[in-house]
Amino acid sequence: MTDKNRGHHVMTDKDKKSRRNSLIGAAFLMATSAVGPGFLTQTAYFTEALLASFGFVILASIILDIGAQLNVWRIITVSKMRGQEIANAVLPGLGFVVAIFIVIGGIAFNIGNIGGSGLGINAMLGIDPRIGAVITAGIAIFVFLSKEAGAAMDQIVKWLGALLIILIAYVMFVSQPPVGEAIYRSFVPLELDVYAIITIVGGTVGGYITFSGGHRLLDAGISGKESIPEVNRTSVMGILIASAIRILLFLAVLGVVSAGVSLDPDNPAATVFQYAAGEFGYRMFGLVLWVAAITSVIGAAYTSVSFLRTFHEKIDQYYRYWIIGFILLSTLIFVFIGQAVTLLVFAGAVNGLILPLTLGSILLAAHNTKIVGDYKHPVWLTVFGIIIVVLTTFLGIRTLIQTLPQLF
């Protein structure tokens, strides 16, 4: 379609529907990529530590998450470039560094996600976690075998995301949390844990997560200044879905912990389901863990490969097979080696640096006419972005210093 004809292109109902599906799909892809096995453990751990005051941490992190994600998605949309291209445009070579970090992180976390899916199937049905992992990989690969991989991915993450919300909401109702106290402490916390806030922000939009939805929109052809209002809504929707899941889980854990139950440190989230709903609850936890894991496998593989697609036309042309290869690699490592502990430690260390690097380059790009043309980036978003870059840089460096000795 040439630019001359572009103005006359009228969207049919089918176009509108597929566009709407892509927008909702991008929000759910980002949210379910955030909600993985680590998200469940992290939420349970912090709730046990901070009790009702963790509500404040969630509230503060939602505001920061929205600030970070609006910055990233708007600039991807306006520039019509992926994260690594924006980084390279700001500082030649930076995009390669970011892509390498993301791919290493993606493989490490995907081994964890594949492992989590195996444990989920094990809790649900009692079969060997490695067999469960292979079954999950098979399902995820099946999604990318279809010619319409994007549309298939949109649907699967949407329905599985809805299932997660229903399952966790059920456990929350059964565990009878002190909701009044939780709401009160969300505004008047007993303690202020900045470390927890930055950790939760990293767990929601850090690493590859925010780019999963941003790159999905580009692949669906949703870009340019005229798409900004839709992208804004979708961006906030993604954060709200992930945060709704976190709030439901927080309340479920709070109900159980308030009843005087101490969580199993090895598997804190499982204790919550088991206490609330007995044997059935434990099987249900298996399903929740599996759904959280498989959606993160899909999100991590899709996004990691999207960071490589601009470096060689062959990768771009055969990207679906690269995604399948990515899932296969993660699965083989898990089945034959188990959790690659050193790799996970290293990925955790560099992952904290990805958000400040990518968001930092996004903010520089936002005011660079070569990248965004005549688009004017809102001042409040820039200020928000700078605050998040400063906070996450501080935490990222701190994490790096703490974790590097473990590697040697």
In-domain check, residue 227: yes
User: Backbone phi, then psi, for 8, in 5-degree steps?
Assistant: -90, 0
Q: Is the model's pLDDT at 199 over the cut of 60?
A: yes
Does residue 98 surpass a pLDDT of 50? yes
Give the DSSP letter of residue 225. Answer: G
Q: Token pair of 365, please?
A: 């790009």
Give me the number of domains the chain comprises.
Answer: 1
The whole-number average pLDDT for the span 344-361 is 82
The CATH number assigned to the domain holding 141 equals 1.20.1740.10
How confident is the model over 13-68, as pLDDT tens digits? 888 898 999 999 999 999 999 999 989 999 999 999 999 999 999 999 999 999 99
By percentage, how much of the chain surpasses pLDDT 70? 96
**Mean local confidence (pLDDT), 179-203:** 90
For the cut 50, the answer to whether the pLDDT of residue 273 exceeds it is yes
Give a yes or no: residue 41 inside a domain: yes
Tokens encoding 157: 């993450």
51-55, 80-84, 241-245, 338-342: which has the minimum mean pLDDT? Answer: 338-342
In a domain, 6, yes or no: no
Looking up tokens 């502990």 gives 341
Instruction: Decide if 372 is inside a domain.
Output: yes
Q: What is the pLDDT of residue 341?
A: 67
Whole-number pLDDT of residue 147: 86
Mean per-residue pLDDT, 367-372: 94
With CA atoms as reference, report the closest residue to 284 among 270, 268, 295: 270
Q: Tell me the residue type at 194.
A: V
**For the chain, what is the mean pLDDT?**
91
pLDDT over 50 at 3, yes or no: no
Say whether pLDDT at 403 is over 90: no
Range list of H helices, 206-227: 209-219
pLDDT in the model for residue 9: 59
Give the domain extent around 285. 20-406
Tell me what pLDDT residue 193 has: 83
In a domain, 74, yes or no: yes
Tens digit of each residue's pLDDT (9 = 90 or more) over 214-225: 999 999 999 999
Residue 12 lies in a domain: no
Average pLDDT over residues 250-264: 95
- Segment 367-371 mean pLDDT: 94
pLDDT tier at 6, thresholds 50, 70, 90: very low
Whether 7 is covered by a domain: the verdict is no
Q: Are 139 and 270 in contact (CB under 8 A)?
A: no
- Contacts of 336 by beta carbon, 8 Å cutoff, 6+ apart: none
pLDDT at 404 over 90: no
User: Residue 5: pLDDT above 60?
Assistant: no
pLDDT digits (tens, 9 = 90+) for 294-321: 999 999 999 999 999 988 999 989 999 9
Q: Evaluate whether residue 336 is within a structural domain.
A: yes
Q: Tell me which of 193-207, 226-240, 319-333 is least confident.
A: 193-207
Q: What is the mean pLDDT of residues 168-179?
A: 95
Q: What is the DSSP letter of 297?
A: H
Q: Which two tokens stand for residue 163?
A: 């299932």
pLDDT-based confidence at 344, cuts 50/70/90? low
Q: Which of 121-125, 171-175, 286-290, 336-340 has the lowest mean pLDDT?
A: 336-340
- This prediction's pTM: 0.92
- C-alpha angle 240-289-217 in degrees, rounded to nearest 5: 40
Could you report the per-residue pLDDT of 117-172, keeping only the tens digit for each? 999 999 999 999 999 999 999 999 999 998 899 999 999 999 999 999 999 999 99
